[in-house]
Amino acid sequence: MSHLPPTRLSAQFPAFTRALGDDDLAALSRALTPRELAKGEALLVEGQPSSSLYLVTGGRFGVRVSAAAGPVIVATVGPGAVVAEVSFIDGGAASATLEALEPASVLALDRDAFDHLATSHPAVATRVLANVSASLAARIRAATDRFDTLAPIDAIVDDAPGILDRLYSLFGLSRS
Amino acid sequence: MPVTDLLRQNPHLSRLAPEHLDALDDAFVVASLADGHVVARQGDRGGEVFLVVEGEVEVSHVHDGQRRSLGRLAPGEFFGLVSLVDQGPRSATCTVRGPSKVAALSAGASALLFHTHAPIGHAFQRALASQLAADFRRVDARLRDLYEQRTSQA
């Protein structure tokens, strides 16, 4: 597969390419390496270090995590997905295994290519980091919300406009 | 430890030229805070980013009047980044534990600094992304533990 034309890159990955102009997109596009995967091939392996970010351009991947009871497929991702952002930033272990469920294709942003981009087009690299940061922020908000349904409670607080206040006002009670 | 030393210890900011590091240092305003002081409150608006200088900061999340701790931050760690990045309300409450010092970088100061000094903006964006990645891993690891506990209890 050849490089995606810049216009297709921004159409398929709007959040990742936000606020990048045509010349910026062309520079970013040149930093991306196309890669094909056969059905059953792993793009990422849970627990193994990774330092590339991947844009999924074709095919679907199963996202598998290990649990005490055995591996579980927690999601599938397809074209338009941006994966491995956390490892791209910190070079740490992949938090899940991504395996191609069918013949698939990705565009890889390797760390070396990104560092080269940061030298040749620093403003583009800074914008890409800002866009990845926005995605990480959204994932932190989502994870924090999930946390509420699972974590033990440290304290009941009444300084926040919570359900207790709504119940009190509903029944016309005053809080003493 | 002075803010400048903490910034110099950050692997991304340490690459900055000395005058850029000084400019970043100058943009931070340090406050000494008493135990229990709330630096950022969940739901509030605010675009400042904070740096733990001395002591500890607890990050907690309130939902339906129930508070849960997401963890504690040590000197050298940044917080308040989610709102800086997406301009949304504070996603969590950050409370000082024990007498502490916290440095604040206002949204206006950071925007001006990064606009006039692109290398500072780039290095700081790398530092922000790293902190966000660490924050995500911390929440994700706690979530996985909780899922495992749920599964083993069921």
Radius of gyration of chain A (CA): 21
- Mutation pick from B49, B125, B138, B144 vs chain A, by most beta carbons of A within 10 Å, is B125
Q: How much is the ipTM here?
A: 0.92
For residue B18, pLDDT beyond 50: yes
For residue A71, pLDDT beyond 90: no
Which DSSP category does A93 fall into? B
Tokens of A95: 């938090």
How high is the mean pLDDT of chain A? 88
B67-100 pLDDT, tens per residue? 888 889 999 999 999 999 888 999 999 999 999 9
Q: Which residue has the higher pLDDT, A70 or A100?
A: A100
What is the reported pLDDT for A20?
Answer: 96
How distant is the Cα of A1 from the closest Cα of chain B, in angstroms?
30
Query: Which chain A residues are within 8 Å of B135, Cβ to Cβ?
Result: 136, 140
Tokens of A84: 């491995």
Confidence of residue A161 (pLDDT cuts 50, 70, 90): very low
Chain B within 8 Å of A173 (Cβ-Cβ)? no
User: Are A56 and A77 in contact, with CB atoms under 8 Å apart?
Assistant: yes
Confidence of residue B49 (pLDDT cuts 50, 70, 90): very high
How distant is the Cα of B21 from the closest Cα of chain A, in angstroms?
18
For residue A175, pLDDT beyond 80: no
What is the reported pLDDT for A78?
Answer: 96
For residue B135, pLDDT beyond 70: yes
What is the reported pLDDT for A149?
Answer: 77
Interface contact flag, A150 B132, Cβ < 8 Å = no
For residue A137, pLDDT beyond 70: yes
User: Are A59 and A101 in contact, with CB atoms under 8 Å apart?
Assistant: yes
Q: What average pLDDT does the segment B105-132 reach? A: 93
For residue A1, pLDDT beyond 50: no
What is the reported pLDDT for B143?
Answer: 86
User: What are the residues whose beta carbons fall under 8 Å from the beta carbon of B106, sequence distance 6 or more?
Assistant: B27, B29, B47, B48
Q: Least CB-CB distance to A125: which of B64, B122, B143?
A: B122
Q: Which residue has the higher pLDDT, A21 or A71?
A: A21
Q: What average pLDDT does the segment A36-41 reach? A: 98
For residue A176, pLDDT beyond 50: no
Query: Which chain A residues are within 8 Å of B82, Cβ to Cβ?
Result: 137, 140-141
- Mutation pick from A136, A148, A153 vs chain B, by most beta carbons of B within 10 Å, is A136
Q: What average pLDDT does the segment B41-59 reach? A: 94
Report which listed range, A2-11, A112-121, B103-112, is most confident. A112-121
What is the reported pLDDT for A169?
Answer: 54
CA nearest A73: which of A85, A64, A82, A81?
A: A64
Chain A within 8 Å of B67 (Cβ-Cβ)? yes
Chain B within 8 Å of A148 (Cβ-Cβ)? yes
Helix (H) or strand (E) holding A129, with range, is: helix A122-150
Beta bridge partners of B52: B102
Chain B within 8 Å of A154 (Cβ-Cβ)? yes
Query: Which chain A residues are within 8 Å of B126, Cβ to Cβ?
Result: 129
